[in-house]
Amino acid sequence: MVREISAGGLVIRRSDSEWMLAVIEPQREHGAGTKTILALPKGIVDAGEAPEQTALREVQEETGLLATPITKLSDIKYVYVRSWGDKERVFKIVSFYLLHYESGEIGQIVPEMKIEVKQALWIPLKEAARKLSYRGEKDMVRRAQEYLQSHPEVQA
Ligand code: ATP
């Protein structure tokens, strides 16, 4: 089976009283249905690139935010069928990192990225496990929440 290795980020930011998480609404492929998808920013790890670097780069490209690493959370794995070409089955591994917001305005992305990202938005971290579309990404949110609970030194 074809393999893809990606990396992505959970960018968190403290608003007045709660943690917020940066998420994206990916552009749907033509005919892929009408349900709104909410997902984490991520992308393919380039040759020679460290996955953590990929996560920071993809976060910047897809959300417009600059962030710094806090910790690696975990990997998720899934299989999907390519909608293009010879419709190959792909085994995919995505490494996710917990990242701290540094700067930037969410959604300020270059026009070329708008082909991939319909919008980027902050949502409360405590609603994210419910609102994200994919099970593996919901799990990542729970891990992020556990990490923050056991590491109160992570500050706004
Ligand atoms: P990347 O963001 O890594 O560059 P991509 O946008 O080409 O990759 P995916 O986001 O992996 O590809 O989407 C490919 C297919 O997998 C889509 O049909 C999507 O709905 C599905 N998919 C995406 N994320 C997950 C997930 N966490 N769990 C299960 N299926 C997923």
Nearest CA to ligand 1 atom 16: 80
Domain 2-123 of CATH type 3.90.79.10: yes
Nearest CA to ligand 1 atom 23: 134
Q: Tell me if residue 2 falls in helix, strand or coil.
A: strand
Distance between Cα 48 and ligand 1 center (Å): 22
Question: Ligand 1 — pocket residues by CB below 6 A?
Answer: 6, 42-44, 76, 78, 80, 92, 134, 136-137
Residues whose CB falls within 8 Å of the CB of residue 65, separated by 6 or more in sequence, listed in order: 11, 22, 59, 101, 102, 103, 104, 106
Residue spans of the domains in the chain: they are: 2-123
* 84-to-46, 87, 90, 107 alpha-carbon distances in Å: 21, 6, 12, 28
Atom of ligand 1 at shortest range from CA of 94 = 3
User: What does the pLDDT profile of the chain (156 residues) look like in tens digits?
Assistant: 999 999 999 999 999 889 999 999 999 876 667 789 999 999 999 999 999 999 999 999 999 999 999 999 999 999 999 988 899 999 999 999 999 999 999 999 999 988 999 999 999 999 999 999 999 999 999 999 999 999 999 976
